Structure 1
Amino acid sequence: MKTQTINSEPLFFQDATTLAELIRTKEVSPVEVIKAHLDRIEAVNPAVNAVVVVADSAIEAAKKAEAAVMRGDKLGPLHGVPFSVKDSIDTENILTQRGSPIFKGRIPDNDATSVARMKTAGGILLAKTNLPEFSYWIESDNLLSGRTNNPWDLTRTPGGSSGGESAAIAAGMSPLGLGTDLAISVRGPAAQTGIVSLKATHGRIPMTGIWPRAPRRFWHVGPMARSIRDLTLAFSLLAGPDGKDAYSTSTTLFDNGSGFLPYRPLRIGWMVGPGFGPVDSEVAATVKAAAEALKSIGLFVEPVGIPALEKDFALDVFNRIHVMEMKPAFREAIAGRSDNEIYKMAKTMLSLPDTSITDFIDAEQAAERIRDGYAEYFKDYDALITHVLPIPAHKHGETEFVIDGQKVDATYLQGATVPLNVTGLPGISMRFGTSKEGMPINVQIVGKWSAESTILHIASLLESISAVRGLYAKL
């Protein structure tokens, strides 16, 4: 068991695929890998505050994994590799407190399906990560475990609701993790810290063992990592029905991103609006640069528009539906609890007026029109490149922004991500640029329903271009 550094990079900055190979070939031990990440957590988490619970079982699990290697046992694809989990996702015998004093001390009896599948592949649960109260906001701050900071700039947010997960992975505290996404929550945080994430087609990965579930039609669980190949591996392990989540019914096969590609050059459109709200010029330029990079390697790429997004603003549609549906779960959670146990976002959400039944039905019909609009787009194209966020990571606590000359509130940061929750389409968030202030800028790659292979393939092409061109510095 030779070294803590591989190709001049410390173990804690190796991706999960590399770590699995190093363990399989006995170049490092699972114990060494786990200890390297625990040391990293001890070193940087006090400033970043991304990890809220360290799994006491991690070292013991690593010792068992090491013994299996030495015996020559058959090893899973993530054997001995640590992973982290957002603290809204149940973990057996390990605290899952959902970012709220209301759930302080809560220890589930069972793993969420997604966690269980990571463990079945040989992964070792290392830590739970921070989130906003009840997973409902674009910053990761709560009364129980406080605020998470962006490792690129501690005065800025790593986003929400999977902000603790994004910050932990970006800072080297974990190579791979699980987040959840209602409107932005794995893709936005990935963009704010420059990592990668996947929101798969709705239902591809079961939500069993994750709270809240309302509104069920919009919630997703997805992998977050530092490489596209790790996203590909994790998705291949996570996808498929579990017999418990009725939305998770797809048995569509998944491969490594090549077997299901069309027998012709890929056709890709790109857009930054209209239909998404205002976009910062640096972000728009990054989307265009990603499109031009794909065009330069022989893909058919052109600017496009989706009229349905201009007719019905997806963020407004989403708000009129989801506020109505999530309130019962919130009311049940806070029933009988004191006011000082409830943070600002739950109070804000519960104070919003109910959607009238007329507006609710109108919003449902608008959601169908948006879905139809994407279906029409995907008759002619295999993927769509957009921005993830209209601006790079912002300062903590900011609630209003001037973007391209327009003043908008913080909810507008979801303008390009929420359409994929309204429609259930898959999307990848990955870095392709840097702001003038040195913050990461990600692009979003959107695919047809159940076409994760295609967008993962496109993402791997962009990742290769970034590596060759040296487009951005590491943390």
Structure 2
Amino acid sequence: MSENIIFSDAVRLAERIRTREVSPVEVVKAYLERIETVDRKINAIVALADGAIEGARKAEAAILAGDDVGPLHGVPFTVKDSIDTAGVLTQRGSPIFEGRIPETDATSVARMKKAGGILLAKTNLPEFSYWIESDNLLSGRSNNPWDVTRTPGGSSGGESAAIAAGMSPIGLGTDLAISVRGPAAQTGIVSLKATHGRVPMTGVYPRAPRRFWHVGPMARSIRDLALAFSQLAGPDGKDAFATSAGQFDAGIGRQPYRQLRVGWLVEPGFGPIDPEVARTVEEAAEALKSLGLHVEPVRIPALETDFALDVFNRLHVMEMKPEFAAATAGHEDQMYKMSKTMLSLPDTSMKDFIAAEQAAERLRDGYAEYFRSFDALVTPVLPLPAHKHGQAEFVINGQKVDATYLQGATVPLNITGLPGISMRFGSSQEGLPINVQIVGSWLAESTILNVASLLESVSPVRGLNPDL
């Protein structure tokens, strides 16, 4: 029975709870037992939420009383430790914030609770959510459930590892350049970075640069992403970027009113891509074609003119450095690798900053031109499967690159604000997950969730779980 719970998706758990097939108490206890059993290998959980069992008892009482309940009623969820949780440790991956307990929930957490979710635990991250590995001085390094010698990614690596290892069915991560999509790819789960501003960032750290930061759901199925997003989207009156209407219907399972047009792209524009990853993207495109969608290879000239990773690097340093400097002032002995690295980076000159801003506009224009003719785009998420801990350089398809290149296919969506889904569609020769990225136009989450759901229905790797 426990296996049927811990590797279920959130939608199925909610259904079983509503029909009294399982109780919320049984579900929460199953996940707590799973955490106790496997987290010593993974180190994904940094704090358990006091009151999860009591919350489950209240949820069970509501079911027995026949009360109207939310769509996630009784379902436990986990939250990255950069997102505020009322009365529960939120330490941001740094001893500087050790013992910090917020008084209020982040908007995203409050909305998950309003939908009936029960906060279970907080998950690991890099210092200040800033790197592609989840490692810090306070709570240490998280490991990948598929191979503990490899990383589950960053910055939402603890969240991705927890879900992949069956310690949580669904959760919240944040994304500056890669951070919900990359970790999902390294652990074989699914995640959504919605259009910038669709989900308020209120109660999430760091706030700078706000125009690139996103908070989004991470889960085990596309329908979980759709359900979570339907609860998370909409303005809260506090985050000025969050102005889009909250009403949302994914339309998963319904036939589109016309044939959808999908392009697929591996290179050029994202940097070098491993042949196994490239092949998986092409296989995903062929699968969509077999389902009746119009699919063809494409190029986006703007990505070739302005390399998005270079644009991002020139833009975000100027906004992140003051945030890091303020957080670490007087605590220099408690700084870890990335805050030291960030503060050591040279400032971008005003001339280069303006040039980068103009390049960002060209990237937006380039995607706008693409989406005049297409409904979605299939790309890599990462240029290679999950890598060994601590790797700083990689040889990808014969080209030597540094670790920042892992963000080459994800960071364009942070610069432009476009939505993207990370979902598994393949495996490496070593059995590691390989995800693809489904990209849509602005506010077109329903389209990419529909495309992703179609692709999920024919995925050759659906339902695989790591052996722990």
TM-score, normalised by the number of residues in structure 2: 0.98
Match of residue 246 from structure 1: 240
Deviations 1:346-402 (A, max 9, x none): 000110000000000000000000000000000000000000000000000000000
Match of residue 377 from structure 2: 384
What code does the residue aligned with 2:358 have? Q
Shift of 1:133: 0.0
Question: Does the C-alpha gap of structure 1 residues 470 and 408 become closer, same or farther in structure 2, counting only changes over 3 Å?
Answer: closer
What code does the residue aligned with 1:431 have? R
Question: Does the C-alpha gap of structure 1 residues 208 and 470 become closer, same or farther in structure 2, counting only changes over 3 Å?
Answer: closer
1:355 aligns with 2:348: yes
Match of residue 474 from structure 1: 465
Match of residue 425 from structure 1: 418
What code does the residue aligned with 1:239 have? A
Alpha-carbon distance between aligned partners in 2 of 1:207 and 1:371, rounded to the nearest angstrom: 22
1:151 aligns with 2:145: yes
Q: Aligned with 1:461: secondary structure? A: helix
Alpha-carbon distance between aligned partners in 2 of 1:14 and 1:394, rounded to the nearest angstrom: 27
RMSD: 1.2
Shift of 1:32: 0.3
Deviations 1:315-363 (A, max 9, x none): 0000100011111111110111142x10011000110000000000000
Q: Aligned with 2:400: secondary structure? A: strand
Alpha-carbon distance between aligned partners in 1 of 2:430 and 2:253, rounded to the nearest angstrom: 40
Alpha-carbon distance between aligned partners in 2 of 1:472 and 1:128, rounded to the nearest angstrom: 25
1:82 is matched with which residue: 76, 79, 84? Answer: 76
Matches within 5 A, 1:190-205: 190-205=184-199
Match of residue 34 from structure 1: 28
Aligned residues of 1:260 and 1:453 also touching (Cα < 8 A):
no
Aligned residues of 1:398 and 1:410 also touching (Cα < 8 A):
yes
Alpha-carbon distance between aligned partners in 1 of 2:175 and 2:238, rounded to the nearest angstrom: 19
Shift of 1:472: 7.4
What code does the residue aligned with 2:368 have? A
With 224-233 and 255-264 compared, the bigger mean Cα shift is at: 255-264
Q: Aligned with 1:429: secondary structure? A: strand
Shift of 1:259: 10
Instruction: Structure 1 unaligned segments of length 5 or more: list them.
Output: none
What code does the residue aligned with 1:140 have? S
Aligned residues of 2:426 and 2:461 also touching (Cα < 8 A):
no
Match of residue 129 from structure 1: 123
Question: Does the C-alpha gap of structure 1 residues 156 and 292 become closer, same or farther in structure 2, counting only changes over 3 Å?
Answer: same
Match of residue 159 from structure 2: 165
Question: Does the C-alpha gap of structure 1 residues 367 and 261 become closer, same or farther in structure 2, counting only changes over 3 Å?
Answer: farther
Question: Does the C-alpha gap of structure 1 residues 118 and 148 become closer, same or farther in structure 2, counting only changes over 3 Å?
Answer: same
1:292 aligns with 2:286: yes
Instruction: Structure 2 unaligned segments of length 5 or more: list them.
Output: none
Shift of 1:254: 1.6
Match of residue 310 from structure 1: 304
Aligned residues of 2:185 and 2:385 also touching (Cα < 8 A):
yes
2:135 is matched with which residue: 124, 128, 141? Answer: 141
Deviations 1:190-232 (A, max 9, x none): 0000000000000000000001010010000000000000000
Q: Aligned with 1:10: secondary structure? A: helix
1:97 aligns with 2:97: no
Question: Does the C-alpha gap of structure 1 residues 17 and 387 become closer, same or farther in structure 2, counting only changes over 3 Å?
Answer: same
Shift of 1:297: 1.2
Shift of 1:246: 0.1
Aligned residues of 2:181 and 2:422 also touching (Cα < 8 A):
yes
What code does the residue aligned with 2:366 have? G
Q: Aligned with 2:131: secondary structure? A: coil
Aligned residues of 2:253 and 2:453 also touching (Cα < 8 A):
no
Aligned residues of 1:90 and 1:110 also touching (Cα < 8 A):
yes
Shift of 1:474: 2.7
Shift of 1:128: 0.1
Alpha-carbon distance between aligned partners in 2 of 1:371 and 1:252, rounded to the nearest angstrom: 24
1:235 aligns with 2:235: no
1:175 is matched with which residue: 162, 169, 177? Answer: 169
Shift of 1:263: 3.0
Alpha-carbon distance between aligned partners in 2 of 1:323 and 1:311, rounded to the nearest angstrom: 22
2:393 is matched with which residue: 388, 400, 415? Answer: 400
With 200-209 and 251-260 compared, the bigger mean Cα shift is at: 251-260
Alpha-carbon distance between aligned partners in 1 of 2:72 and 2:332, rounded to the nearest angstrom: 43
Aligned residues of 2:164 and 2:465 also touching (Cα < 8 A):
no
Deviations 1:12-44 (A, max 9, x none): 111111111111011111000000000000000
Match of residue 18 from structure 1: 12
Match of residue 331 from structure 2: 337
What code does the residue aligned with 1:264 have? R
Alpha-carbon distance between aligned partners in 1 of 2:256 and 2:55, rounded to the nearest angstrom: 43
Shift of 1:264: 1.7
1:459 aligns with 2:456: no
Query: In percent, how many aligned pairs have the same letter?
Result: 77
What code does the residue aligned with 2:465 have? K
Aligned residues of 1:261 and 1:453 also touching (Cα < 8 A):
no
TM-score, normalised by the number of residues in structure 1: 0.97
Shift of 1:253: 3.6
Deviations 1:243-301 (A, max 9, x none): 00000001164202359986320000000110100000000000000000000111100
1:374 aligns with 2:367: yes
Q: Aligned with 2:230: secondary structure? A: helix
Q: Aligned with 2:218: secondary structure? A: strand
Match of residue 281 from structure 1: 275
Question: Does the C-alpha gap of structure 1 residues 291 and 358 become closer, same or farther in structure 2, counting only changes over 3 Å?
Answer: same
Alpha-carbon distance between aligned partners in 1 of 2:293 and 2:398, rounded to the nearest angstrom: 34
Alpha-carbon distance between aligned partners in 2 of 1:122 and 1:433, rounded to the nearest angstrom: 33
What code does the residue aligned with 1:448 have? S
What code does the residue aligned with 1:183 have? A
Q: Aligned with 1:126: secondary structure? A: strand
2:101 is matched with which residue: 87, 95, 107? Answer: 107
Deviations 1:425-464 (A, max 9, x none): 0000000000001100000000010000000001001110
Alpha-carbon distance between aligned partners in 2 of 1:258 and 1:10, rounded to the nearest angstrom: 24
Alpha-carbon distance between aligned partners in 2 of 1:53 and 1:415, rounded to the nearest angstrom: 32
